[in-house]
Chains A and B, each alone.
Chain A
Amino acid sequence: MKFTEQQIANLAPKPAAFKAGQKLANLPKWDSYGRSERAMWGELRGSGSKPYKTQIDIVELAYKCSCPSRQFPCKHSLGLMLLNTQNESEFKASEEPEWVNDWISKRQAKAAAPPKEEKDHTPAELEKLEKAKKQRADARMMSVKAGVEELELWLKDLIRMGYLHLPLKPISDFEKVAARMVDAKAPGLASWVKGFGHLNYSDKKAWQEEAMVLSAKLNLLLQTFKNYNQLDPLWQLSIRNLLGWNQSTKDLQADKSIKAIKDEWLVISQEREENDDLIIERNWLMGTSSKRAALILNFGNRFNPLNSTLSAGLILQAALKFFPSVYEQRAIIQNQRALLPSLSKLPKFEKAWKPLRSQWRSAMNIYPWINNLSFFIEKVQIINSGNQYFIVDQKQDMEIVHPRFDQRQLMSWIVISGNGPINLAGIYRQGSILPMGIFDGKKYMILEKEKTYVERSY
Chain B
Amino acid sequence: MWKGVIDVALIGTEKKKLNLGFLPSPIAELLYAEKEGNAQQVFLNALSYLYFYNEQGKTSIQFKGDLNQQVIIESQVLANEEYLKIFNKIKELDHYQKEPFLKEWMSFIVERDKIISPNLIIPLLEFGANLSKSVKKEIIKIIGEKGRAVIPMATQLPYQDLDYAGLEWEEGSNSQRLELFKQLRKEDPAQAILMLKASWDTEGVRTKKSLLNEIDDHLQQSDLAFLEQLYQSEFLYTLKENKTKKECRMLLAAMLLRLAASNLYQETSAELSKYIAGAKKKGLIGKIQKSDDALIQLPEKEDAFFNDNNMLHKFGLENVNIDPGVYGSKIQYWFAFFILALPMKFWEKHTAKQGRIIAKMFLQDKAFQLQLGKSSNPIYKDALVDHCKYHHEESIIKLLFANYPIEEVVHLLKYLSLDTYELLVINRNLHTDRNVLLNSPSGIWNLAFAEQVVEKHYDLIANQNQWIKDKIGREISTHMNIDILPALLKFNDFAKNTRMYSNWQKQFFEPLHLGLEIKNLIKNLKVKI
Contact = CB atoms under 8 A, between A and B. Distances in A.
5 contacts: A208-B10, A212-B51, A216-B44, A216-B51, A416-B119
B510 A26 contact: yes
Given A156-B38, A156-B44, A219-B45, A28 B489 contact: yes
A163 B10 contact: yes
Contacts of B155: 407
A354 B74 CA distance: 33
Interface residues of B, number: 68
Contacts of B44: 155-156, 159, 215-216, 219
A161 interface: yes
A397 B62 contact: yes
Given A216-B47, A396-B67, A431-B55, 8 more contacts: A5-B88, A156-B41, A159-B40, A162-B14, A208-B9, A414-B150, A418-B71, A418-B118
Contacts of B397: none
A420 B71 contact: yes
B358 interface: no
Contacts of B9: 159, 162-163, 208, 211-212, 215
Contacts of B40: 155-157, 159-160
A323 interface: no
Given A383-B63, A419-B72, A212 B12 contact: no
B502 interface: yes
A213 B51 contact: yes
Contacts of B162: none
Given A22-B92, A364-B56, A415 B146 contact: yes
A213 to B, nearest CB: 6
Interface string A183-210: 0000000000000000000000000110
Q: Counting chain B CB atoms within 10 Å of each CB, which of A28, A365, A398 scores highest?
A: A28
- Top 9 nearest A-B pairs (CB, nearest first) are A162-B12, A216-B51, A397-B60, A156-B40, A219-B44, A411-B150, A418-B72, A415-B121, A415-B118
B280 interface: no
B58 A418 contact: no
Nearest to A409: B122
Nearest to A446: B119
Contacts of A448: 122
Interface string A286-323: 00000000000000000000000000000000000000
B60 A368 contact: no
Interface of A: 5, 22-23, 25-26, 28-29, 45, 47, 86, 155-157, 159-164, 208-209, 211-213, 215-217, 219-220, 223, 353-354, 357, 360-361, 364-365, 368, 381, 383, 390, 392-393, 396-400, 407-408, 410-412, 414-416, 418-421, 431, 445, 448
Nearest to B37: A156
Interface of B: 2, 5-6, 9-15, 38-41, 43-45, 47-48, 50-52, 55-56, 58-65, 67, 70-74, 85, 88-89, 91-92, 118-119, 121-122, 125, 143, 145-147, 149-150, 153-156, 489, 492, 496, 502, 505, 509-510, 513-514, 517
Contact of B10 (A157, A162, A421): A162
A240 B468 CA distance: 64
A217 B43 CA distance: 13
A418 B39 CA distance: 55
A388 B156 CA distance: 18
Contacts of B43: 159
A418 B73 contact: yes
Given A159-B12, A399-B60, A414-B146, A419 B71 contact: yes
Contacts of B489: 28
A361 B55 contact: yes
B61 to A, nearest CB: 5
A418 B150 contact: no
Contacts of A368: 52
A418 B122 contact: no
Contacts of A211: 9
A398 to B, nearest CB: 5
Given A407-B155, A416-B119, A396 B10 contact: no
Nearest to A205: B6
Contacts of B72: 414, 418-420
Given A208-B6, A213-B51, A418-B72, A383 B150 contact: no
Question: Is chain A's interface secondary structure helix, strand, loop, or mixed overall?
Answer: helix
Given A26-B510, A407-B156, A411-B150, A419 B13 contact: no
Contacts of B492: 28
Most buried by A among B13, B47, B73, B121: B47
A357 B60 contact: yes
B60 A411 contact: no
A414 B56 contact: no
Contacts of B91: 22
A100 B389 CA distance: 62
B484 to A, nearest CB: 14
B67 A411 contact: no
A159 B13 contact: yes
B70 A419 contact: yes
Contact of B11 (A164, A364, A416, A421): A164
Contacts of A419: 70-72, 149
Contacts of B118: 415-416, 418
A370 to B, nearest CB: 10
Report which residue of A45, A47, A157, A411 has the largest number of chain B beta carbons within 10 angstroms of its beta carbon: A411
Contacts of A157: 40
Contacts of A393: 60
Contacts of B47: 212, 215-216, 219
Given A47-B502, A160-B14, A392-B67, A220 B121 contact: no
A7 to B, nearest CB: 13
A383 B67 contact: yes
Nearest to B68: A420
Contact of A415 (B10, B55, B150, B517): B150
A418 B51 contact: no
Contacts of B119: 412, 415-416, 445
Most buried by B among A155, A156, A431: A156
B58 A431 contact: yes
A383 B66 CA distance: 11
Contacts of A431: 55, 58
Contacts of B146: 414-415, 418
A22 B91 CA distance: 10
A228 B389 CA distance: 89
Given A159-B43, A215-B44, A414-B146, A86 B85 contact: yes
A211 B48 CA distance: 12
A292 to B, nearest CB: 23
B153 A411 contact: yes
Contacts of B85: 86
Contact of A353 (B52, B56, B60): B60
A54 B160 CA distance: 45
A286 to B, nearest CB: 21
**B61, B73, B509, B517 pick with most chain A CB within 10 angstroms:** B61
A357 B60 CA distance: 8
B10 A164 contact: yes
Contact of A398 (B51, B58, B62, B513): B62
Contacts of B514: 26
Select the residue from B9, B74, B502 with max chain A CB neighbours within 10 A: B9
Nearest to A414: B150
A86 B60 contact: no
Contacts of A421: 67
A67 to B, nearest CB: 15
B329 to A, nearest CB: 60
Contacts of A381: 67, 70
B153 A414 contact: yes
A82 to B, nearest CB: 9
Nearest to B156: A407
A17 to B, nearest CB: 15
B58 A357 contact: yes
Contact of A396 (B14, B62, B156, B505): B62
